[in-house]
Amino acid sequence: MGEQAVPAYWKLGGTTFVLEADRAGNWAGHWLNWRTGRFDRRDDRITDVLLATAEPDIAALDADEFVWETESVRSELRGDGEVFALYDTIDAMLDQAGPAGLGPMETLLIQGLRARTFELWQIDARRAPGEPSRIRVTGFR
């Protein structure tokens, strides 16, 4: 499988991408679909991220940055479920911060809320076959 440590995270073309290992130990690329909020298998992008050097639309991320960027994209979605109520809370906090920006406590709170929304998407992605999704996307902000 090479020397690349996995999982590895990137921002790629305005959304996020994760390189993981599949059950057989082969690389598997998953790209965040900004229309659905779910990660789609996109092995065709693996070479793009591994060979990127200074391309402006590809940047390596650490795990916390990956969650922050992923949830920034997903927060543009609208729909039904607990995750969207949390996005509304985050939006209200950002709106209230205004031009002054967020203070350190608000930033930490939003980081925690985004970690929770990320976790809710992860839980939903692991649901049993045939089990309905608890996250229903109905549109965009």
pTM, entire model: 0.89
Q: What pLDDT was estimated at residue 136?
A: 93
Return the closest-CA partner of residue 124 out of 62, 31, 36: 36
Cα separation, 83 vs 119, in Å, equals 9
Inform me whether the pLDDT recorded for 50 exceeds 70.
yes
Residue 3: band (very low, low, confident or very high) from pLDDT cuts 50, 70, 90: low
Cα separation, 3 vs 13, in Å, equals 24
Residue 137: band (very low, low, confident or very high) from pLDDT cuts 50, 70, 90: very high
Q: What pLDDT was estimated at residue 53?
A: 60
Give bridge partners of residue 10 from the DSSP assignment: 17, 60
78 near 137, Cβ under 8 Å?
yes
102 near 56, Cβ under 8 Å?
no
Inform me whether the pLDDT recorded for 1 exceeds 50.
no
Residue 65: band (very low, low, confident or very high) from pLDDT cuts 50, 70, 90: very high
Inform me whether the pLDDT recorded for 112 exceeds 60.
yes
Inform me whether the pLDDT recorded for 63 exceeds 60.
yes
